[in-house]
A and B are shown apart, each in its own frame.
Chain A
């Protein structure tokens, strides 16, 4: 199996509106999740404050980088990235936090949000595979790995 994407394949990926829509959805998801994680970073309180404050900071910083990567992949496919806070929030459809919440509720709510993002990333990964766009598929796999690791860490925090 070839490990590079031929120019012809990239062309078919560019034409695939489903893939572009799926990528834009992952972009919106990641941006919305970044906002929620940032909110949690600011407002978390309790005995786990220092750990969670630091962990959430690392997470939203990594999500900021991810958003840029996904948007630039869309441009590489000659599609446009969606933007604007309202549009991104509406597209993502993640439930907003009703701060202040208990520290464990922030963690649980973020796990639920990560799961939604992972479901959309999985769909984008599979669509990229269908059109043999290996670069996009690789990006989605990388994102999925990061989210899975983050969910594992958040779940571990809740274990008693």
Chain B
């Protein structure tokens, strides 16, 4: 895979969450590699890039990721492992036992290839915590990121993976 020299999201790269290669960088590497992604997959990958760059619509991000994973993971396993690791650290499920209940944050496990299966897994995880899910509501959200001054180690992470 071709190496992209500049880290495209260096300003937002937080090591605790980034697992050494942030998602934008992985997507950029895929896009920059001749023949790695073609046709509709390229369009979908660009959509995914836009979604993770904006970090506003977690559900759509997850939906597009699952679609991309079904299409491309066999060919680009390592890239999708990095993307999975990144999403696992950046996404949360907020589960309410009923519409009026306070939300409980549940980690998102990406052992599945469709959003509905991920949603069901999160609801099961909430139930295992002792919640009685009367009329549950679930929203996927991006974990808030500390965008304060970057540490030396954060800079090192991006530099070392460049």
A interface, CB within 8 angstroms of B:
95, 104-105, 108-109, 111-112, 115-116, 118-119, 122-123, 155, 158, 160
Contact = CB atoms under 8 A, between A and B. Distances in A.
19 contacts: A95-B19, A104-B77, A104-B81, A108-B78, A108-B82, A109-B81, A111-B78, A112-B19, A112-B85, A115-B20, A115-B21, A115-B160, A115-B161, A116-B20, A119-B157, A119-B160, A155-B78, A158-B78, A160-B74
Given A119-B157, A123-B156, 20 more contacts: A104-B77, A104-B81, A105-B81, A108-B77, A108-B78, A108-B82, A109-B81, A111-B78, A112-B19, A112-B20, A112-B82, A115-B20, A115-B21, A115-B160, A118-B160, A119-B156, A119-B160, A119-B161, A155-B78, A160-B75
Interface string B33-49: 00000000000000000
Most chain-B CB neighbours within 10 Å: which of A95, A108, A109? Answer: A108
A115 B85 CA distance: 15
Contacts of B160: 115, 118-119, 122
Contacts of B20: 112, 115-116
Chain A interface, >50% SS class: helix
Nearest to B85: A112
Interface in B144-160: 156-157, 160
A91 B160 CA distance: 18
A115 B19 CA distance: 10
Interface size class of B (residues with CB under 8 A): 10 to 19
Interface of B: 19-21, 74-75, 77-78, 81-82, 85, 156-157, 160-161
Contacts of B85: 112
B37 to A, nearest CB: 14
Contacts of B82: 108, 112
Contacts of A112: 19-21, 81-82, 85
A158 B77 contact: yes
A108 B19 CA distance: 12
A111 B80 CA distance: 13
A113 to B, nearest CB: 9
Nearest to B75: A160
